[in-house]
Amino acid sequence: MKKNEIFLKDYKSPDFKFNSVHLVFDIEDESALVSSTIECVRLSDQETALVLHGKELELTKVLIDDVELSRDAYEVDPQKLIIKNTPESFKLEIVTNINPYKNLSGEGLYKSGKILCTQCEAEGFRRITYFLDRPDVLTKYSTKIIADKKEYPVLLSNGDLTEAGELDGGRHFATWNDPFNKPSYLFALVAGDLALVQDTYTTKSGKQVSLDFYVDPGNEDKCFHAIESLKNSMKWDEDTFGLEYDLNTYMVVAVDSFNMGAMENKGLNIFNSAYVLAKKETATDDDFMGIESVIGHEYFHNWTGNRVTCRDWFQLTLKEGLTVFRDQEFSADMLSRPVKRIEDVIALKAHQFVEDAGPLSHPIKPKSFVEINNFYTSTIYEKGAEVIRMIHTILGKDNFRKGMDLYFKRHDGHAVTTEDFIGAMADASGVDLKQFMAWYDQNGTPTIDIKYTYDEKLGKVVFSFHQKAKTNNEEFKSLHIPLKYTLYSKNGEIIGPEGNLFELKNEINTLEFEGLSELPMLSINEGFTAPVHIKFHGDLNNSLFMMKHCKDTFNKFNATQNVLESEILRISKIKKPKNSDVNLEVIEAYKNIYLDESLDLSFKVMALSIPGLKEINDRLEKFEFENLKSAVNVFKSAIGDALEDEALKVIQNFNLEKDYEYNAQLIGERSFALLSYRLLAYTKNNTYSEIMKKAYYGATNMTVEFGLLSMLLNYFPEETEKESKHFYNKWKHETLVIQKWLKLNAQLESTDTSKISELELLPVYDEKIPNLVRSLIGAFMRFNFWNFHAEDGSGYEFIKEQIIKIDNINPQIAAGITRGLNFKNKHTGNRKDKIIGVLKSLTQNDSLSSDVQEIAQINLK
Ligand code: BES
Ligand code: ZN
């Protein structure tokens, strides 16, 4: 057991109920006075002491039923307040003094730029006032904010504005009232000089909702896409799940300093500005897509998270997994369903599969944690969403909808568990989901071994499926795994039904077919219906076949990627490989996809993207360096040479001046043109760098401008210093654009730790702003495989120093960086010793936060 470890099995319901809370924030120049008045009811006869959570708080006074308590009636320290003897029902008043100006943690009340804002999930409310800061304590909030009118003309909190007015001394106030019960983690407050961009939405039942977007003055012209995305989200949730918005106003505030992407506070979302602000000149297609999905995500939380919330933080996937599933489905309906599915699985494999294969592996419903902030993981989110998707696959769309309806009917206004969710799904559909629950409790990515026997005389094939996984549980419980499949003849025709569902439930199950004239090819886990590894045995290994013939978009993509990766791995075993070592059949199949006009352009770009050193290493048992790096380069060069003429044609027909629009067709055209430029860059031929430079200067949107800059810097580094400077000077006043430039520089092969230190000194960089730290330090770790893993360990040492420095400012961000040091077991030799040394010194450094220590400890496993 670790220090301060909290266990799910120890859950106890609260001893007190809060009927209402009224908050008053008196914001001064150097601090803020917070008074909280709570109507309390004691639920237990045995337990009469009320133990409230706090963090770094300074208590001014405490009153019960208007009488100030004497000093011996309570115990207090910065982390808790204990009221020793409470009556059955009473009014509790607590006054605390906090300093938002010195708070750099990104939790509680803090300053972002010139704006004061809050972040309360998961346990940030306790940095504002002493409270039962746990998600199963729901109550009604009213909030009065008092502040200087010039500095903070806009004062916002959850719900409806009920009163506002002037006060003496240039001050003013606003009072907000939220009619819905909510847990403290959904509380929000914003005060600042903000510009308002407004729109309206009329719900299905005819209610007018005001959509109020607050941004820094000057950014008003970058809100239209976020607003459009919000309207689309509202319509989508009505159409798909019958769910309407429930308040009169939906507010979104964009701030530059934010630990996460965005936060779903009731009626008052707070967003990292990167997920609100966009126009074609400053944001890429990927940025536009990110905004659509994050706006959708936070909006969808209003029902899955806010109206029905989590009983405790072990249930986090109840709201996050389900809401990620909902935002994925929403984005699929907005642009292209098959393309979105591929993107989501790419992300799942890059983050969650890697996490699940390393020391941080945990089930989507963890059994214990030390620091809850460390459990906002890819597993809770992305695997959590896959688990919901499997339920959707097993139940079917209509039964899934019935299950959601029942879930809201039973649990609206309550704090519930994942069992409650599964219970509603099972009861509404009549499908038994008992075995399915193991997905919640068991970590590890399952592998399914597929073998076959074929009887030529009878024309009978028997496929056998064997599931297993490395798990921390005492024994591996067989999972309920839905797999879609199709059979193909050797000449690529579908035989039998397409996309049938096979449900693997036992450790070993078989699937038989008779009356065949030849051994069929099996396309399994189509659409990636289950988050598993598939391992074919015998001559079932059919990637090249599926790359050419598969009709399921996902499996065609997956097969193509497998072919490219296996070919690169094969080349990596050759001493001094040359272009002519690359298998011509692979090149031919690659070219056929590139030229196939029946295929979606975005699909082609994803399928034909050549896996890099980092991606391949993520999947290997042990890291490989030099040989793998040259194999990737040889493969790229061979592909570039083979497709040169075709790629040149594509870019000659690409109209750089074409008006920017956000839709699947044009996004596809832009990314296919960029792929084509990239193929030319692989040839390393200087005539192409000249063409690319011309196109770069002529670009009229950020997608093309940044796409080309990125290729120039990656493939022609010696001759593109000028373009890099040009970009920097053009955009140095737009922090979101500079973040892209930093990220690009951080991953270049020429960028070692001393170059990163130089970049840190630029005036655009500020280690107090999480986005900038992620763009420089985070990107170096995640994308600069070569220099980060430098053999002398200098990359690890550098990151250690950064962690120590950033932990002093913001432990959550420092823990996020520490998370990337999770590869100890993938090394041998010197690098292994070095990374162990760094992790040990982090765990032994007592001045570091528990956030960092917990992760460093786990990474030492
Ligand atoms: N509730 C979270 C934000 C959050 C998590 C705040 C942890 C504080 C601590 C929010 O709904 C969320 O999940 N945001 C994601 C983006 C989303 C599209 C997956 C994020 O911020 O990364
Ligand atoms: Zn969320």
How confident is the model over 468-492, as pLDDT tens digits? 999 998 899 999 999 999 999 999 9
Question: In whole angstroms, how far apart are CA 742 and each of 674, 703, 706, 773, 778?
Answer: 20, 16, 12, 10, 10
Which two three-digit tokens encode residue 462?
Answer: 């028997």
The region, left, alpha or beta by phi > 0 then psi within -120 to 50, assigned to residue 515 is left
Active site residues: 298
Q: How far, in Å, is the centroid of ligand 2 from the Cα of 261?
A: 9
Which two three-digit tokens encode residue 658?
Answer: 């074409």
Q: Establish whether the linkage from the previous residue to 424 is cis, with ω within 30° of 0.
A: no
Q: How far, in Å, is the centroid of ligand 2 from the Cα of 292?
A: 14
Does the CB atom of residue 324 touch ligand 1 within 6 A?
A: yes
**What is the mean pLDDT of the segment spanning 129-144?**
98
Q: What is the predicted pLDDT for the residue at 540?
A: 63
Which ligand number lies closest to the CA of residue 123?
A: 1
- Residue with the nearest Cα to atom 9 of ligand 1? 121
Is pLDDT of 539 > 90? no
Residue showing tokens 């940030």: 124
| Tens of pLDDT, residues 491-525 | 999 998 899 999 999 999 999 999 999 999 999 99
DSSP state of 479: P
Which ligand number lies closest to the CA of residue 372?
A: 1
Q: How far apart are CA 425 and CA 27, in angstroms?
A: 47
- Residue with the nearest Cα to atom 17 of ligand 1? 294
Q: How does residue 656 score in pLDDT terms, banded at 50, 70 and 90?
A: confident
Q: How does residue 541 score in pLDDT terms, banded at 50, 70 and 90?
A: low
Cβ neighbourhood burial of 343 (10 Å; 0-12, 13-18, 19+): buried
| Tens of pLDDT, residues 827-847 | 999 999 999 999 999 999 999
Is pLDDT of 202 > 70? yes
Q: How far apart are CA 562 and CA 567, in angstroms?
A: 8
| Tens of pLDDT, residues 35-65 | 999 999 999 988 889 999 999 999 999 999 9
Which two three-digit tokens encode residue 446?
Answer: 């399952």
Residue showing tokens 């692989």: 682
| Tens of pLDDT, residues 59-78 | 999 999 999 999 999 999 99
**What is the mean pLDDT of the segment spanning 340-352?**
98
Query: Which of 287, 295, 298 has the most ligand 1 atoms within 8 A of CB, as the residue to mutate?
Result: 298
Nearest CA among 41, 39, 43 for reference residue 15: 43
Query: Can you spell out the DSSP letters for 634-671?
Result: HHHHHHHHHHHHHHHHHHHH--TTSPP--SHHHHHHHH
Q: What is the predicted pLDDT for the residue at 496?
A: 85
Cβ neighbourhood burial of 161 (10 Å; 0-12, 13-18, 19+): middle
What single-letter amino acid sits at 526? E
Q: Which residues are within 5 Å of ligand 2 (an ion), measured at CB?
A: 320, 323
- pTM across the whole model: 0.98
Q: What is the predicted pLDDT for the residue at 3?
A: 77
Q: Report the mean per-residue pLDDT for the chain.
A: 97
* Structural element, H or E, at residue 439: helix 438-441
Do 180 and 266 touch, CB atoms closer than 8 A?
A: yes
